[in-house]
A and B are shown apart, each in its own frame.
Chain A
């Protein structure tokens, strides 16, 4: 709401041809990269531990964060009990086969390759109540997926959810030409499988925390996990979601809640004050230095949910794949080879009247079409049906 207030001020000034927006670069003293980020979990029921160590990046960075390699990571509990984690991938430290007990306090310890020591506060878990239901509903163009749960003992109060979504999707066409592993176009051979049905997997990235603390009973009723546009590809065939529910402490709830507000409401003059959020990990060598992230002992329950296109039929949603046929221009009667090559570099493939495509344009000889319309794997999914499907 406040943002729009700013916008109209901006627009009004535009009328007066005076306002201007330009990119702003942070002053060099504003350094935010290179801080240790700890994403650590100890799973009670699974008896596993997973700690991801990365470093923060500059604001404009696009790539994935680099893992912090070569650190010594362990979890302490009781007197002198130590669980060592082993680096399985750069920055990813794991342990399995652990006996993790509700109510016991665990502490994460890290010693980086550079010799700096980090330590979390003591954390414990309480059993997470089961998920009662995952439901869906339509509001306008949106399909909302919601979760409900309750704790009859009223002990949980604070919840966090994560989910993984999996959906089936299709590539509508089969063509004579395909793109090889080298990215070059070649003719299809009988050895080349046809990939018209794929499954794509997305983890959730939003921060989903809820509290029943405002209510008389420890009940979470229809907490919205996600909203999906009804016309999107995700819902075109079949959609599935695996919901993981964790009971968390109030401290962890506050941490995620502030982080959520900070991230979702990026500051302008009218927005609420963002603030530095401190997790439960400190640098033992320099306690004032910020350490990002959180270590939690997680009690987890999961539930899977399916939504089939037949269930959505009453709403007349329609997904239209982006499969535009880009006509290849002719140069002296021949197809423009440069045009074709340029489009191949963008992962397009050539189609013509030989291909069994019934909605080709009536005019023209040959076209380029997105390769994802021919091979569903090109959109990032896999052709292998998941075991739960």
Chain B
């Protein structure tokens, strides 16, 4: 631990050193020395001109209020000026003749001060030809020409009229032509920023006049456009990704977005960030990276069930291209279900869930896949120790239609067969998955995409029971631009999940247990930029759920197993939503939304009604009603409020508040803390009410160093109603009346999340700390319905303290190193405490539920990424990733369990990754 911190400190030191150096390199040799304490700007200029060869040109009327406080020791003038004018409206330019022009930002666009032009030598006369300092800075980038060119937007007028105009356009990937989602398009003064939407489209209202437009996106080179905005118009921008241009690589979040948006608890990660984080088997893992974010936890080392802000694993809506994924893990959670070469980015909403999403209480994890390269055929892949992957993509019609297809498969089955142990080589553990995507953009106003996903897992222990599960999804999406400010999509999606457990060892008892669930959904979403101040989101959705909760049947003719089948369930979940983001003033922005959701539990079904006021069980059945196909059995509906507001103190600091309500009609029945392949989902019905969650959140956001360092502090309080808890020894599989085994319980969760994130630079990464509590209360009338006597008790995933450090340091363009550190309090556990004799046998005395905790979890990982040679015209770009997971070899408990051996109960601790795991992965791209 100490060593690790030392290493991190070194990384930090190196990082800051290199920043200094790069600045120094861009300036002429003559420096400025002196200590200025509140001197007037004119006095500063006098001294600066004396010490250096520069000549200053400025309007004294503009600078008379400016005082200078700084000290410099032979520092280059540009650096000193940069420091001086930072966060002020003043800008400066330096030309080749060492002339320094000082201007006040806002004034420049409308009219140039007359004496400015007079005092400046007549070299061109118009401000767009500032070739000096700015262009030198941008000369590093690939697209010099376009960055220095002045784009004239709108109908050119001789004189700029006051007022604002709207600039619209599309941000595209320079290499693939794919739309870049979530890119930030901004000007710095006055600070105005927007994100591109899902089609890469942005609309920005700006004062007419001259601006420098800055376009940033994660993993892509930042670019600028000099524009002269006369009236409404369009400008599309190509962003080059770092794979093509092997210059400086920017790995950055959406700068300033954290401060300027109204949303709280939203994290957006690009796949390039995800790929830097070391994992156990060398493959980038979307879900594992989620776990390094504040407020996101998991109960076990190799579990992919996420617990977001004290919510259960089933309270997360995991969307992969708009289709729900029910089991997001492969191979006991060692791999996530998402192929890193297909994934474009992920967005996690922990708090401000947009009104267009619903159906789950805790969070939405929206994973989008790439569209495929519209310019040329390319591919990527990786070879790992357990699994390999390959992705191909390319144009079908150049610039219009592209495809992407990717697959992964494990060879752990083969590994198992090689083992000398007969129990192990009769075992089976394998997975594969396949992603297919087609994207077609016939014109600027329409896009159509089809995406499909299929995965299969199978595992078996020593020829006994075979477990198989599959995820399937298919989504068809059409996006259409109706007019400049109205954009809409229609999405139809299918999601399926099924599992099968077969046991054929004993032919008499051979059985097959099958489970299947399907979702068909249709939704339409519109974004309407009503005017500069209002952005309206509205839409509707409907989803049909169909579940076959369990079919138990004999396997083989000799089997004596009695068949059993649970009745099919179906329900229709629909919603309407409307949301408005209203910029009241530049400082205050409010998003207010409402989602009204309806759920109808539909027949055919036989429904039991129980006597009132007594615990539900087989003895208290009052009547039995039979409903026909599509008969309405029970309807639930209610509003879900989504509101948040942002108040900016400065351009880089804001405070936000949020409230949101969510309703969940689909529940996972699980007795264990994590997602396991035999979990069953259950719709709300006459007895099981929808889960209801309310979350209040407050956050402070402050960015430093020109938005390179983002900090945030968020506080939340959540209440949850109608959660499902289980009576002791509840039977979940093949239970014809699960309502008799569940307890209606409630929960609350609260916490504080602090995060510091450095998005750019040689050293980047984040450090987060979370304090949180997640509590449940089951206080039914009956003894069986009380857990721990009916008081609040910690949920399975109540892990109060957690600390995460994710860091990446780029030594050179070819070598980078990553390091992770994860600490978390141990999860709660119920311990057997003692034994006693009763009824002729020894019995175990258990503690209260979740009274104790497993030992704390901590882990450090390191990785080294080596990029291959960087000739631009090379057949394939390759990279090696060497990583060591759990460097310290700490035996973190995966599970603590107790076994009775020879009459003595003994406790055991199982550590899945109980020692350092070195992994080598070879990745390629062509």
Where the two chains meet, the residues of A that have a C-beta atom closer than 8 Å to any C-beta of B are 1-2, 4-27, 29-33, 35, 37, 39, 52, 54-62, 64-65, 139-140, 157, 162, 203-207, 213-214, 251, 254, 256-259, 261-263, 265-278, 288, 290, 292-294
Contact = CB atoms under 8 A, between A and B. Distances in A.
B461 A8 contact: yes
A213 B615 CA distance: 14
B534 interface: no
Nearest to A277: B728
30 contacts: A5-B461, A8-B459, A13-B913, A15-B424, A19-B912, A20-B915, A21-B908, A23-B908, A24-B909, A29-B852, A32-B833, A32-B835, A33-B834, A37-B837, A56-B836, A57-B835, A59-B904, A254-B783, A262-B846, A266-B844, A267-B898, A268-B897, A270-B672, A271-B671, A271-B897, A272-B726, A273-B830, A274-B830, A276-B846, A294-B838
B913 A254 contact: no
Contacts of A64: 837
B839 interface: yes
Contacts of A4: 461, 464-465
Nearest to A37: B836
B832 A269 contact: no
Interface stretch (B411-419, B540-548, B575-583, B868-876): B411-419
Contacts, number: 251
A35 B838 CA distance: 13
A24 B914 contact: no
Nearest to B725: A273
Interface string B463-498: 011010000000000000000000000000000000
Contacts of A2: 672, 676, 678
B909 A56 contact: no
Contact of B839 (A18, A55, A162, A254): A162
A207 B895 CA distance: 28
B318 interface: no
Interface of B: 299-300, 302, 331-332, 334, 412, 415-416, 419, 423-424, 427, 429, 459-461, 464-465, 467, 501, 506, 508, 617-619, 671-674, 676-678, 726, 728-730, 783-784, 787-789, 830-849, 852, 891, 893-900, 903-915, 917
A25 B831 CA distance: 11
Contacts of B915: 17-18, 20
Which of A24, A204, A288 has its CB near the most chain B CB atoms (within 10 A)? A24
Given A56-B845, A267-B898, A27 B852 contact: yes
A259 B843 contact: yes
Contacts of B906: 23, 59-60
Contacts of B618: 213-214
Top 10 nearest A-B pairs (CB, nearest first) are: A32-B833, A32-B834, A205-B841, A261-B729, A268-B897, A24-B907, A56-B836, A24-B909, A20-B914, A8-B461
A12 B332 contact: yes
A19 B914 contact: yes
Contacts of B898: 59, 266-268
Contacts of B501: 1
B671 A31 contact: no
A62 B844 CA distance: 13
Which of B332, B334, B849 has its CB near the most chain A CB atoms (within 10 A)? B332
Given A15-B419, A30-B852, A276-B848, A65 B841 contact: no
Given A24-B908, A214-B618, A276-B849, A35 B419 contact: no
B379 to A, nearest CB: 29
A26 B903 CA distance: 18
Contacts of A39: 837-839
Contacts of B911: 19-22
A26 B838 contact: no
Which of A266, A278, A288 has its CB near the most chain B CB atoms (within 10 A)? A266
A261 B726 CA distance: 14
A5 B467 contact: yes
B907 A35 contact: no
A55 B835 CA distance: 9
Nearest to B917: A18
A2 B732 CA distance: 12
Given A206-B841, A262-B843, A266-B897, A26 B831 contact: yes
Contacts of A207: 839, 841
